[in-house]
Chain A
Amino acid sequence: MQKIVGLTGDEAVAYAAKQSSVDVVAAYPITPQTVIVEQFAQYVANGEVHTEFVCVESEHSALSACIGASLTGARVFTATASQGLALMHEMLYIASSLRCPIVMAVANRALSAPINIYADHSDMMGSRDSGWIQVYAEDAQEAYDWTLQAFDIAEKDNVMLPVSVNLDGFTISHSMEGISVLEDDAARKFLPPRPISYIVDPDRPITIGAGNNPEYYFEFKRQQEDALRRSSKAVLETARKFGAISGRKYGVLDTYGLEDADVAMVGLGSCMGTVIEAARRLRKKGAKVGAIKLWLYRPFPERELLRTLEGLKSLVVLDRSCSFGAPNGALCSDILSTLYSTNLKLKISNVIYGLGGRDMTVPMIEAIYRRALRQKKQPLKRDVRFVGVRE
């Protein structure tokens, strides 16, 4: 039996971390992630968990402590956002290369300057090549569900990689929803204690993080890339297992209305709820539109995505960050390069939206759909538009 509780996205993530029997949390508060660690600290203070909570002086130290703890075999959780994630940047690569199955919630927030505390994906997109598995939640329920699933994915023998669970700042992190939560027992059964791969034992010393010269470094990067690419299978396995106990179906992506759609919109995070609402309204009026919500961004789910694109005439790619100086937004670049090796011929346009928490409303999305429905030919120039910005 699951009960429904009123929780904000941040609280839901903290609740999931609590139910995941985390051994160590090392974190530093930053808006809009603060409530996650605040709430978790409360669990520790109340004696509801037996977690070692390490208060550190910065995000760089937070992730460093997490890496150390994870390497001893502990289950480790942390959370951050924006500038905090940027400060972790150096350690992000070390966590993934040392193959630490850390789970980190990122309450996505714009990067300075100018300083802004509201939602966009610039923070995680700036770290998209750091070797982490990256999932994006659409709402607080998904943030809860993905946090639980993230540990199961990360700790699999053939994965052993960190996972970031992304939830849009404020839109998800601070909005309260009725959330179905698992019973503690069910969560424990889904997520037994982390299997011990090795223990730190003075009688059997091992070396971690040894220097590698040109003769070896490349092999470790190749190995890491292989593990990350293959982890999408682990994501599907975990989703199946989680579906069986929760009744909620996850995977690498979700679709809406694609059976007969001519035009679809693809994107990440909270905006996809609005997109689906706009698509629903248009479909009522007979427009053949659909939506693709990517849960998994890294590894990029090429195969599954291509399957959803068959039969479409046009695809609008929503990017909630700006890849300065690049031909397209980050997600759009990924999709274009995925399409290049296929013979799918569909029009692709890119929309940059929502920077620094700028609202993307149903009418705005309807207008984007209508434009795509009208468009007959792929423009020869790149088709990138900034939607919602004042001209």
Chain B
Amino acid sequence: MSHKPGWRELPIGGHLYETGSSLKYKTGSWRTFRPILDRAKCTRCLLCWIYCPEPSIKRTEDVVEIDYDFCKGCGICAAECPVKAIQMVEER
């Protein structure tokens, strides 16, 4: 978004009348550590999916995936994973 609205154009009080604005706000840029998933170790227990506060762990038919557009790199998934299938690696 290049043009940002001036104060007269914004709805009062910062109320948002359309939903889903958080989808437009990619929080992945906040990350300093990147969770890397080792599919070979993953047992698909879904604990990371439950604990991820974002939620940036996506579950598909047979694997879990990390959505790097939104993952803030908090490391909770890595800490919770019972088989150590997630490693936190410093972003460069």
A interface with B by C-beta (< 8 Å): 97-99, 160, 198, 205-210, 212, 215-216, 218-220, 222-223, 226-227
Contacts and interface: CB of A to CB of B under 8 A. Distances in A.
Contact of A97 (B6, B7, B8, B13): B13
Contact of B14 (A160, A216, A227): A216
Contacts of A212: 14
23 contacts: A97-B13, A97-B14, A98-B13, A98-B14, A99-B13, A160-B12, A198-B17, A206-B16, A206-B19, A207-B16, A208-B14, A208-B16, A212-B14, A215-B4, A216-B4, A216-B14, A218-B7, A219-B5, A219-B6, A220-B14, A222-B7, A223-B8, A226-B7
B21 interface: yes
A207 B21 contact: yes
B10 interface: yes
A223 B9 CA distance: 10
A219 B7 contact: yes
A123 B72 CA distance: 42
A206 B10 contact: no
B13 A220 contact: yes
B92 interface: no
Contacts of B8: 223
A228 B76 CA distance: 44
B53 to A, nearest CB: 15
A218 B6 CA distance: 10
Contacts, number: 48
A222 B13 CA distance: 11
A209 B14 contact: yes
Interface in B4-38: 4-8, 10, 12-17, 19, 21
A210 B21 contact: yes
B15 A207 contact: yes
Contacts of A226: 7
A360 B21 CA distance: 57
A218 B5 CA distance: 12
A223 B7 contact: yes
A117 B11 CA distance: 41
Most buried by B among A97, A160, A223: A223
A231 B20 CA distance: 33
B14 A210 contact: yes
The 6 closest A-B pairs by CB, nearest first: A99-B13, A207-B16, A219-B7, A222-B7, A223-B7, A98-B13
Given A160-B13, A219-B10, A220-B10, 12 more contacts: A97-B14, A99-B12, A99-B13, A198-B17, A205-B19, A206-B15, A206-B16, A208-B13, A210-B16, A216-B4, A218-B7, A223-B7
